[in-house]
Amino acid sequence: METKLFKAYEVTKAAELIRQGELIAFPTETVYGLGANALDEQAVKQVYTVKGRPSDNPLIVHVSDFEMVTHYVSDFPKHTKALVDAFWPGPLTLIFDVKPNTFSTTVTGGLNTVAFRMPNNLKTIELIKKANVPLVGPSANTSGKPSPTTAEHVYHDLHGKIAGILDDGPTQIGVESTVLDLTTENEVPVILRPGAITKEQLEHVVGKVTVDQHLISEKEAPKAPGMKYKHYSPDVPVWIVDGDKDVFDKAIHWAKSKNQRIGLFASERLTSAFSTDVTATFSFGEDSVEQGTKFLFAGLRSLDEQNIDVIFAQAFPEAKLGIAYMNRLKKAANQNILKIDSIFE
Ligand code: TXA
Ligand code: MG
């Protein structure tokens, strides 16, 4: 199959293909999604096949407005309206109890719940409206690889396997949406996956919010099935460098003494300081967690294609957006962290 790159003005063609049961990748503010008609079981099955995704990992249903959700959910938990008003369209996925006989178990992974999100991208909203059906939309990468933040990333992973990609340039945020479970018995919402909408922002709107234990301990079974899979991993091993120039300096010397070719993912301040000591650099520019997050997956993908043995990546404090950044980076690094007091032998 030839994968067509649709320019942003070709939404109508893309929507027709969705209605015919084809797969079209779409832009969002977080990462690119792999779109299919959520009501077409064959199309949804094809999504799992082309991604190589485990079938017990449920999908997020993307809608063009809140009204679309009301067809598939009968009882809305008490914080729903406040959250939708505050954060939709935007990087917040909400989990509700699903109305029976609406979505197939292929969408829900056999759970009694379903995840919804209204993405903040005008072209994708137009795509959903024109297709006039809700779209499933897992990140449009091969399962296990870093999520795609450009149409080129999608093409790299899925060309030949999907009908098209709706290109709207690089995404703004760079990591997937915050997933919030509203179906808890005590009515306290639980964050199942950290994203750009932070715990503080949510608490400002609804009062108390908790974080799924799995995100903290890594021991208990995760409630969002997707969190248990190895994710976001380049083939080259990744190490997180938790510290400033002195720690990078030690890490680089240690790797060089082992004849390792090094790739560096860090701000301009750090990549420029070490450019002559390493084989490849990917700078995300200004030294801020927003910039780091925006380019994290693009940086890992780019370095992975160079001839290197190890990637050193900059850490950020685990607060606000830093929680989402470090959550994805730790998965990519398999929890490997270098600190100033680590021993480099
Ligand atoms: O930003 C995003 O959310 C992107 C863009 C494309 O919208 N989509 C995305 O989808 O990240 P995906 O399929 O890669 O991740 C969906 C996550 C998984 O961790 C999955 O386990 C969880 O949401 N999830 C989906 N439905 C669920 C449910 N009913 N209960 C618990 N977790 C659910
Ligand atoms: Mg994903």
Per residue in 33-76, pLDDT tens?
999 999 999 999 999 999 998 888 899 999 999 999 999 999 99
* 85, burial (CB in 10 Å: exposed 0-12, middle 13-18, buried 19+): exposed
Q: Whose CA is nearest to atom 31 of ligand 1?
A: 224
Question: For the chain, what is the mean pLDDT?
Answer: 93
How many angstroms separate the CA atoms of 327 and 273, rounded?
Answer: 26
- Looking at ligand 1, which atom is closest to the CA of residue 91? 1
12 touches 130 (CB < 8 A): yes
Q: Is 209:222 a contact under the CB 8 Å cutoff?
A: no
**Nearest listed ligand to the Cα of residue 30:** 1
How far is 150 from 312, CA to CA, in rounded Å? 23
Across 243-252, average pLDDT? 94
pLDDT of residue 229: 52
Report the nearest atom of ligand 1 relative to the CA of 32.
Answer: 6
| Percent share of the chain, pLDDT over 70 | 93
CB of 59 closer than 6 angstroms to any ligand 1 atom: yes
Q: For position 219, what pLDDT does the model report?
A: 47
What per-residue confidence (pLDDT) applies to 61?
98
Q: Which atom of ligand 1 is nearest to the CA of 195?
A: 1
Compute the CA torsion angle 125, 127, 129, 134 (nearest 10 deg): -90
Percent of the chain with pLDDT over 90: 86
pLDDT in tens, 66-122: 999 999 999 999 999 999 999 999 999 999 999 999 999 999 999 999 999 999 999
Question: Which CATH number is 238-339's, of 3.30.1490.20, 3.40.50.11030, 3.40.50.850, 3.40.1390.10?
Answer: 3.40.50.11030
Nearest ligand to the C-alpha atom of residue 182: 1
CATH architecture for segment(s) 4-226: Alpha-Beta Complex (3.90)
Give the pLDDT of residue 55.
80
Q: What is the mean pLDDT of residues 9-34?
A: 96
| Look-up of token digits 């006989």 | 101
Mean pLDDT of 224-243: 76
Per-residue confidence (pLDDT) for residue 1, from 0 to 100: 86
Q: Where are the domains of the chain?
A: 4-226, 238-339
Closest CA to 89 of 115, 58, 67, 122: 122
Q: Which residue minimizes the CA distance to atom 18 of ligand 1?
A: 226
Tell me if 212 CB under 6 Å of ligand 1.
no
